[in-house]
Structure 1
């Protein structure tokens, strides 16, 4: 693949060309020249886009598709296409398929389906067999096949001894264990955050205590085992405090926050819109502000879209019975730029790679081209026509967003909307 990017503003603080408007020559997938003006004697494909900005490729640590088993929600082929035009050059794929990705063969299957794609797919294997929380899955075999972490998606590990054993066992091969932060006995049958809004709406609530107890437990287990733990999608102020204290102890802990949890509060549920029914639930303004502060000071290591396509039959139903989840790949940049500068937003979208075994490439001559192309200044209403995902369950529908990806250049391929 050969291409010439014209008049591109580089957003990469590690590059010598940061904040400069330049031409970028790419030959056979490698950046061979960066200069103010580059001629095109070999008649390579020229990419000229309005207000073109280029950064290191973006990464998402929590993406669900559907295939195998739930192709009506999303296929791997279309999901990877959506990720590419949303600006993501790599993603970690959750194992919540049917069957659950809990074996060497399952990991090999999704990798083969994603082979030769512009987007690099990093599969997460189930932590327990069939994600049932009873017996550990084949962690080492899945790691050998290419799994980058182990997680029962959105399912807490109720048995603390099982998580202890998982942390100890995975440490033998530097495996990363993920633990969903919820104590189910406290959460009960709640469907939203427990607070004044749940009372007013007459809906059962999930107190933030359910998350915080589990986070505290998991951190004690991590300190005991000396393992390697990632807590996905925290949502409460107290969770931020607990993880901040654990990092001060030098524990091997990282965590993420879903973009919708820093953009919205449980006020969004006042009209029973099931697109805002997510897990963990949207919480209070105090929690939202604490999460943003956690991102700013580095307590929270990365953001995720927590992209989870849900078909209309499971979303457009009575709120109590609606499935949890929202899509988020296509709105990620636009949502983040409602809260942060372009530099900070891009910084958050490029963090977390090392934790999940994804290599970073600086925008520099001689480096492999792993680039996201975007316009940070486009303002638009996020509506159904903007969505290429098969499922349309976005909590950002009808939101005014700022910034849109054009696509990516990665794995010696160009993928532009």
Structure 2
């Protein structure tokens, strides 16, 4: 693949061309030249787009595509197409399919479905067999097959000894163990943040305490085992404090936050819109502010769309019975731009790769072309026409977003809208 990108502003703090508007020549999938003006005698495809900005390819540490078993929600093929059109060149796939991805063969299957794609798909293997929380899955075999981490998606590990053993065992091969931050006996049947709104609306409460107890427990286990832990999608101010203190003690811990938990509070539940039924639940303004501060000071390592397609039959029902989840790939960039500067947004969307053992590619001559293309200044109202996923369960419908994604260049391929 050969192409010439014209008049693009580079947003990459690690590049010598950061903040410069330049031409970028790509030959055979690699950046061969960056300069103020580059001629095109070979008549390569020229990419000229309004207010074009280019960054390192974006990364999402938590996406769900359904396949195998839930293809009515989403397929791997369309999920990867959605990721590309949303600006992502790398995505980590959760194991919450049917059957659950918990063996060498399952990891191999998922990787084969993503072969020769513009987006790099990195599968997570289930931490326990069938994500049942009882017995460890084949962690080492899955690591050898290409699993980048081990996680029972949104399924808490209630047995602390099992988590201890997982951390100890995985440390033998530098495996990354993920633990969903929820104490199930405390959260019970709660479907919304336990606070004023849940009481007003008559919804069963899931208290912040349920998350914080689990985070505290896992951090104690991590300190004891000296393992490697990732805590996905934290949602409370106290969780940020606990992880900040753990990092000060040099524990090997990382964490993420879902973008919708930065944007929305439980005030939106007054409409009983099940697109806002997510796990962990939407919390309070105080929590949102603490999460944003955690991203600013580096306590929280990465953001995620926590993209989770759910079919209409499981969303257009009573709030108590609807499934948890919102799609988020298509709205991720625009939602973050409502909170942070473009420079910070790009930093958030590109950091986190190394935690999962994924190589990052700086925009420099000789490097692999792994690029996201976008216009940071377009303001629009997000609606169903912007949704590329098979399922349409977006919490961001009818929300004003800022920033238009043009597409990506990666793996010697171009995918533009």
Report the TM-score when normalising by structure 1. 1.00
Separation in structure 2 between the aligned mates of residue 202 and residue 329 of structure 1, nearest angstrom: 31
Separation in structure 2 between the aligned mates of residue 95 and residue 199 of structure 1, nearest angstrom: 34
- Residue 269 (structure 1) aligns with: 269
Separation in structure 1 between the aligned mates of residue 169 and residue 143 of structure 2, nearest angstrom: 12
- Residue 358 (structure 2) aligns with: 358
SS of the aligned residue for 1:319 comes to: coil
- Residue 252 (structure 2) aligns with: 252
Separation in structure 1 between the aligned mates of residue 357 and residue 117 of structure 2, nearest angstrom: 18
Separation in structure 2 between the aligned mates of residue 13 and residue 241 of structure 1, nearest angstrom: 28
Mapping of 1:50-69 within 5 angstroms?
A: 50-69=50-69
- Residue 217 (structure 2) aligns with: 217
Separation in structure 2 between the aligned mates of residue 348 and residue 268 of structure 1, nearest angstrom: 25
- Residue 147 (structure 2) aligns with: 147
- Which portions of structure 1, spanning 4 or more consecutive aligned residues, are displaced by more than 6 angstroms? none
SS of the aligned residue for 1:320 comes to: coil
Separation in structure 2 between the aligned mates of residue 344 and residue 259 of structure 1, nearest angstrom: 14
- Deviation of 1:358 after TM superposition, in Å, equals 1.2
Mapping of 1:1-40 within 5 angstroms?
A: 1-40=1-40
SS of the aligned residue for 2:220 comes to: helix
- Residue 156 (structure 2) aligns with: 156
- Residue 44 (structure 2) aligns with: 44
- Residue 233 (structure 1) aligns with: 233
- Deviation of 1:404 after TM superposition, in Å, equals 1.8
Separation in structure 2 between the aligned mates of residue 371 and residue 329 of structure 1, nearest angstrom: 16
- Residue 316 (structure 2) aligns with: 316
Structure 1 residue runs of 5 or longer lacking an equivalent are: none
Cα deviation code 1:311-358 (max 9, x no counterpart): 000001011100000000000010000000000001000010001111
2:161 pairs with 1:166: no
Separation in structure 2 between the aligned mates of residue 60 and residue 72 of structure 1, nearest angstrom: 22
Separation in structure 2 between the aligned mates of residue 390 and residue 271 of structure 1, nearest angstrom: 24
- Residue 194 (structure 1) aligns with: 194
- Deviation of 1:405 after TM superposition, in Å, equals 1.1
- Deviation of 1:238 after TM superposition, in Å, equals 0.3
- Residue 388 (structure 1) aligns with: 388
Separation in structure 1 between the aligned mates of residue 36 and residue 106 of structure 2, nearest angstrom: 47
Separation in structure 1 between the aligned mates of residue 220 and residue 13 of structure 2, nearest angstrom: 36
- Residue 86 (structure 2) aligns with: 86
Aligned residues: 417
Separation in structure 2 between the aligned mates of residue 13 and residue 298 of structure 1, nearest angstrom: 16
Cα deviation code 1:147-173 (max 9, x no counterpart): 000000000000000000000000000
- Deviation of 1:185 after TM superposition, in Å, equals 0.3
- Residue 340 (structure 2) aligns with: 340
Cα deviation code 1:157-212 (max 9, x no counterpart): 00000000000000000000000000000000000000000000011000000000
- Deviation of 1:85 after TM superposition, in Å, equals 0.6
2:365 pairs with 1:349: no
Separation in structure 1 between the aligned mates of residue 145 and residue 405 of structure 2, nearest angstrom: 32
Separation in structure 1 between the aligned mates of residue 294 and residue 395 of structure 2, nearest angstrom: 23
SS of the aligned residue for 2:320 comes to: helix
- Residue 102 (structure 1) aligns with: 102
- Deviation of 1:281 after TM superposition, in Å, equals 0.2
Separation in structure 1 between the aligned mates of residue 68 and residue 50 of structure 2, nearest angstrom: 38
- Residue 398 (structure 1) aligns with: 398
Separation in structure 1 between the aligned mates of residue 333 and residue 203 of structure 2, nearest angstrom: 32
SS of the aligned residue for 2:242 comes to: helix
Separation in structure 1 between the aligned mates of residue 184 and residue 379 of structure 2, nearest angstrom: 41
SS of the aligned residue for 1:149 comes to: coil
Separation in structure 2 between the aligned mates of residue 225 and residue 138 of structure 1, nearest angstrom: 20
